[in-house]
Amino acid sequence: MAAGATAQLPHALQIGGNDLGHVNPDGLATSCSPRPAFLRGGSSSLASCRSIRQTFLHQHAGSLRNAHACTRQLGLVSPRAVSDSTYDEVCLDPDAGSSVLSIILGGGAGTRLYPLTKKRAKPAVPLGANYRLIDIPVSNCINSNIRKIYVLTQFNSASLNRHLSRAYSSNMGGYKHEGFVEVLAAQQSPENPNWFQGTADAVRQYLWLFEEQQIMEFLILAGDHLYRMDYQKFIQVHRETTADITVAALPMDEQRATAFGLMKIDEEGRITEFAEKPKGEFLKAMKVDTTVLGLDEERAQELPYIASMGIYVVSKDAMIRLLRDDFPQANDFGSEVIPGATTLGMKVQAYLFDGYWEDIGTIEAFYNANLGITKKPFPDFSFYDRTAPIYTQARFLPPSKVVDADVTDSVIGEGCILKNCKIHHSVVGLRSWIAEGAIIEDALLMGADYYETDEQRAMVIAKGGIPVGIGCNSHIKRAIIDKNAHIGDNVKIINRDGVQEAARETEGYFIKSGIVTVIKDAVIPSGTVI
């Protein structure tokens, strides 16, 4: 059954303590003894979901909410929440387009990504030569048939607003299907004179708007993660387990686990405990059996922890209750609302995402994620997936022009001009101009927002200025060059002294984790050595 098809009810059912037994993969009841509650459900069983739904609704007429209540009352239990990469079939009714509202959180000031966030919101930071970070969650939503999308932000939002309006404003909805991508900026009101205080507070401040939508679930996403995910599978598990909240989780090894919020689960995948960045004995206490969520025995030994991705499906009624009644002062989902929901006895479920995911929260993580798309034979993250493309603004730029240049293991964006230069293991952003004799190694160039004609460049040089782009015979290694940077001739940006941290904003650059970052619109004079 194709993704986005309608009709879904649990396809591996267990009726506890009665003669009905359980439903086998063909949808037929058997009289054998019940199997454990959270068994893996084969995708083939979903082929019969339409007939199961029709039979169920015939027997239990009413709304889908009543059907869910009936599911709880009868003790129906879903298959286990398996990996996103292996749980192939999707069968939602109502479909995600009409029943789910996506809320993408733009994040805070992005101080760890500074200076890339000096003139833009974190989700507007360029990515992978042609894209911006916000394109990842928006594209995942579109590919998952989710058409109602709000983006919440409060810092430097002009660039983000412009990109979203140009990229998505005219192609999201239709006559019969409402669709939108809208930015909601933090604002003061008579009821709340404060700006967003955290993720939960941001949603609470606009809850009056969100609850007007006739939907069943809220999908809470972050605007600074790099991954590809079918949210329909995520939502399907949420509905099948009749959860109030479902948390996307990553399997994690011990070395990386200390940097994340970890969770413990029971044998049915229900979350029972949270720990924020534990260490030592507290870390060891958070080990879980990840075979419950679908990993094989070998990988479960290697990855004995599960970390929250900061991505949630929350039932509408549960969200309103938690933010308005139970935790009206809570500011954060991950550290306050969701742990609080478990203490209240609400059903908080884990959903395993077993694929590439990166939180792009620091300069080093951002640099590595971008350079990761140049890896061979397989990149960490690929933009070449025709079944789930990443969308962005249509800029109608010409093909890149390469004149006597040596380019290896690199990704080149649209509309670039590369002249007799050497580029290795680098990402070159759109409209980049790289002059003769330049050497670019292990670098991320974000490109430019505009072109300078030959006449304009000649005029700038005649006045003693430096045109946009990389000048002749310059050498750039292990660096990030932000947009519209003016790099003169014979410049060396190679971190010659191996400095790990330095703030040289007046000189046009920062160094973080040994990576030189040239600020947007900065001018680096000819002959400079960094």
Q: What angle do helix axes 135-143 and 158-168 make, rounded to 10 degrees?
A: 30
Q: What is the DSSP letter of 49?
A: H
Tell me, what's the pLDDT at 62? Answer: 47
Which stretches of 279-337 are assigned E, i.e. beta strand?
305-315
**Which structure tokens are listed for 280?**
């030592």
| Residue 465 to residue 488: CA distance in whole angstroms | 9
Low-confidence ranges of the chain (pLDDT < 70): 1-89, 171, 173-176, 188, 190, 192-193
Q: What is the DSSP letter of 62?
A: S
Q: What is the pLDDT of residues 172-220, one digit of tens each?
A: 766 567 789 988 888 767 676 677 888 888 999 889 999 999 999 999 9
Tell me, what's the pLDDT at 242? Answer: 94
DSSP calls for 121-164: -GGGSEETTTEETTHHHHHHHHHTT--EEEEEE-SS-HHHHHHH
Q: If we measure between CA atoms, which residue out of 491, 468, 487 comes closest to residue 416?
A: 468
Tell me, what's the pLDDT at 34? Answer: 35
Tell me, what's the pLDDT at 74? Answer: 39
Q: What is the pLDDT of residues 398-446, one digit of tens each?
A: 999 999 999 999 999 999 999 999 999 999 999 999 999 999 999 999 9
The position carrying tokens 């994040």 is 107
Asked if 436 and 472 touch (Cβ cutoff 8 Å), the reply is yes
Tell me, what's the pLDDT at 3? Answer: 39
434 phi and psi angles, rounded to 5 deg = -120, 120
Beta-bridge partners for 408: 424
Asked if 478 and 442 touch (Cβ cutoff 8 Å), the reply is yes
Asked if 221 and 103 touch (Cβ cutoff 8 Å), the reply is yes
CA separation, residue 268 to residues 78, 247, 289 (Å)? 9, 14, 11
Tell me, what's the pLDDT at 176? Answer: 64
Tell me, what's the pLDDT at 335? Answer: 85
347 phi and psi angles, rounded to 5 deg = -85, 110
